[in-house]
Amino acid sequence: MNADVARESNAGEQTRQKILDAAEALIIEHGFAETSLRAIAEKADVNLAATHYHFGSKQGLLAAVFHRRLEPVKEARLAALTRLEQNNEHLKVADILRAFFVPFYDADDSDLMDILPGLISRIYAEPPAISRPMLQEEFSEVISRFVAALGKACPGIPPNEMNWRFHFMIGSMLQLARFQIPIGQTSEAGSLKEGLDRLVAFTAAGIEQGDSR
């Protein structure tokens, strides 16, 4: 993984990556509107003009930052679900949810594990005019496949209702992403892994609710 970065030996591509890395870190920490191109260029140790050369505008940089991370998550989620469907006749809700969460919280690359939740929760924090199209673009396929799988696992729940439950599930997921531990709780040894288990249990209960199996 990440061989694409190492392989690029020309200076231009390296600069591009440095800018993306710096922008990503600053956006996670401060949000998009609060992050200036100047701050990004300084942290990346490149010239300010390079940001415009590579990405055209601040908006273009935003899109690139997000797309670089979201694309692999999308693929991993779809692949995990496909694997699940091939190996089992009847899927359990908790397994489907895990296939959805794991590429997000628990990437193979442990650096990514620190990055993804913070980054995605930022997208959702953007004004709907910005976040809606981006989420639609990056996630509509994933959402429809997972909602369908959940519907199949819970035959009693109509599709429209399952859409809503999926919606609430996303909210819980984001809450874990934003604040790793509950507000007002003193720091706890338990890792993100423990939060993930709790998230699966909580959302599975909400999704299965009222279904007769």
Q: Which residues bind a second copy (CB under 8 A)?
A: 29-31, 33-34, 124-128, 132, 135-136, 139-140, 143-144, 160-161, 163-176, 178-179, 181-185, 188, 195, 198-199, 201-210
Q: How far is the CB of 175 from a second copy (least distance, A)?
A: 3
Q: How far is the CB of 101 from a second copy (least distance, A)?
A: 12
Candidates 20, 54, 117, 123: give the one binding DNA (CB under 7 A).
54
Length of the chain: 213
Q: How far is the CB of 106 from DNA (least distance, A)?
A: 33
Which is nearer to DNA, 38 or 83 (by Cβ)? 38
Candidates 21, 43, 52, 78: give the one binding DNA (CB under 7 A).
52
Per residue, the 3-state secondary structure of the chain, as one string, reads: CCHHHHHCCCHHHHHHHHHHHHHHHHHHHHCCCCCCHHHHHHHHCCCHHHHHHHHCCHHHHHHHHHHHHHHHHHHHHHHHHHHHHHHCCCCCHHHHHHHHHHHHHCCCCHHHHHHHHHHHHHHHHCCHHHHHHHHHHHHHHHHHHHHHHHHHHCCCCCHHHHHHHHHHHHHHHHHHHHCCCCCCCCCCCCCHHHHHHHHHHHHHHHHHCCCCC
59 binds, among a second copy, DNA, none (CB under 5 to 8 A by kind): DNA
Which is nearer to DNA, 112 or 119 (by Cβ)? 119
Rounded Cα distance, 104 and 127, in Å? 22
98 binds, among a second copy, DNA, none (CB under 5 to 8 A by kind): none
Report the chain's C-alpha Rg in angstroms.
Answer: 19
Candidates 9, 10, 86, 185: give the one binding DNA (CB under 7 A).
10
Residues 11-50 that bind DNA (CB under 7 A): 11-12, 14-15, 35-39, 46-50
Residues 59-88 that bind DNA (CB under 7 A): 59
CB 212 within 8 A of CB 153: no
Q: How far is the CB of 122 from a second copy (least distance, A)?
A: 9
**Binding site residues, DNA, CB under 7 A:** 10-12, 14-15, 35-39, 46-50, 52-54, 57-59
